[in-house]
Structure 1
Amino acid sequence: MKKAATFLLLLVVCPLLAGLYGAVNDQLTYTLAPEYFTKFKYQQFGLEPAWFGGARPTVAIIGFLATWWMGLLVGFVFSLLALLLPDARTMRRAVLRAVGQALALTAAAGVLGGLYGRLYLVDAGVEWWLPADLVDRAAFITVGSIHNFGYLGGLLGLVAGLLTILRRRSALATAPRRSTETLSA
């Protein structure tokens, strides 16, 4: 019963963590390229800054909406696999460690995406749609690359997290068990 409750709890926590990551990430990328939001993301999500008290709260909402679902997917997969672990505490720790790795890989991929965008794509050009009236084309492309690489990082994080949970299961399966004789001695 405790493992089932842990499974359900993680299905709530993981999307919240992913959404928080998205909100923070979009605050940073808004700082780099406000036009990415004002000329693209606001329209994509159908949101107006006036509805939420300005640009920054709207950007945070967009970040949350763009990422919570990945947290649900990752949380579901991690939690499902973690049901193979012996107890709820071990399950919770393994999933949260895996989620931490996934978030770290997502952030690292975003940084790499930013570098790739700024150092290569800005000069090489992109096949994506770009607004005709961009003032800072380089910043728009850089932030687009950060966002694209972030999703790739999320996928890599999913794989890394799965491996972490499987290694934890394997380590527990091969660890010597303490017998009741040892405990009562």
Structure 2
Amino acid sequence: MNKAIAFILILIIAPFLGSIYGIVHDQITFSIAEEYYTKFKFFQFGLYNWGMGQNMGTSETPEVILNSPRFGAGIIGVLSTWWVGLISGIILGFTGLIHKDGNTMFRITLKAIIYTIIIAFLTGLIGFIYSKINVIENIPNWYLPKNVIHKKDFITVGTIHNFSYLGGLIGLIIGVIYSIATNIAYKKRD
């Protein structure tokens, strides 16, 4: 395979994998704090305008009731992460051009994308632990809708989301380093 085809495949696969990550991530966090979605994310993304449910609240006390809230969380997951996957794919794809051929470029870049996703997930897990240890005792000065009942769970999920984006950035940097280091190692062997 030539590098142009490898690059195009990377640009297709990366947002798809990012979307899958987002779906899984948001299903997990929905289980922790349903209110984070019904009183924040569904309202923020305007899912009530999609004919999936209705807005039962106001801007002060938002609450969107969907016919299938888990499906709604999946949609939020896709909308929140496909573009991160695309940006990662572009950066890692361009980095991958340093490899000797398209097959090597594709293989190494796909591994770098997987590493990025794993690091984002693990960093989100660290965010969960951090929230349970620190944030719950020292509640941050965040905007919370006035009708949130389970504030600590809401904040925990917000912390997980913030850490996961940070993990995506850290993972991307590590993915670039991995790609470059692998190329250097291959050149030394040849």
* TM-score where L is the length of structure 2: 0.89
Do the aligned residues in 2 keep the contact of 1:118 with 1:141 (CA within 8 Å)? no
CA distance in 2, matches of 1:91, 1:26: 31
Percent identical: 38
Matched, 1:107 2:121: yes
Q: Which residue of 2 aligns with 1:92?
A: 106
CA RMSD of aligned residues (A): 1.4
Report deviation, 1:134: 1.4
What SS class does the counterpart of residue 47 from structure 2 fall into? coil
Out of 85, 89, 95, which is 1:81 matched to?
95
Name the larger-Rg structure: 1
Q: How many residues align?
A: 176
CA distance in 1, matches of 2:185, 2:133: 42
CA distance in 2, matches of 1:119, 1:129: 21
Matched, 1:69 2:79: no
CA distance in 2, matches of 1:23, 1:54: 14
**4+ residue stretches of structure 1 with deviation over 3 A?**
none
CA distance in 2, matches of 1:58, 1:2: 39
What SS class does the counterpart of residue 123 from structure 1 fall into? coil
Do the aligned residues in 2 keep the contact of 1:30 with 1:37 (CA within 8 Å)? yes
Matched, 1:5 2:8: no
Q: Which residue of 1 aligns with 2:18?
A: 18
- Is there any run of 5+ residues in structure 2 with no aligned partner, and where? 55-65
Letter in 1 for 2:158: G
Q: Which residue of 2 aligns with 1:152?
A: 166
List per-residue Cα deviations over 1:130-166 (Å, max 9, x = no partner).
Answer: 1112111110010000000000000000110001000
List per-residue Cα deviations over 1:59-100 (Å, max 9, x = no partner).
Answer: 101001001111011100101011110111101111111011
Matched, 1:118 2:132: yes
Q: Which residue of 2 aligns with 1:34?
A: 34
Matched, 1:59 2:107: no
Do the aligned residues in 2 keep the contact of 1:106 with 1:152 (CA within 8 Å)? yes
Out of 131, 136, 143, which is 2:145 matched to?
131
Letter in 1 for 2:73: V
Letter in 2 for 1:20: I
Letter in 1 for 2:165: Y
CA distance in 1, matches of 2:101, 2:141: 49
Letter in 1 for 2:141: E
Letter in 2 for 1:99: I
Q: Which residue of 2 aligns with 1:50?
A: 53
What SS class does the counterpart of residue 98 from structure 2 fall into? coil
Matched, 1:167 2:170: no
Report deviation, 1:127: 2.1
List per-residue Cα deviations over 1:26-63 (Å, max 9, x = no partner).
Answer: 00000000000000001111113439851011110100
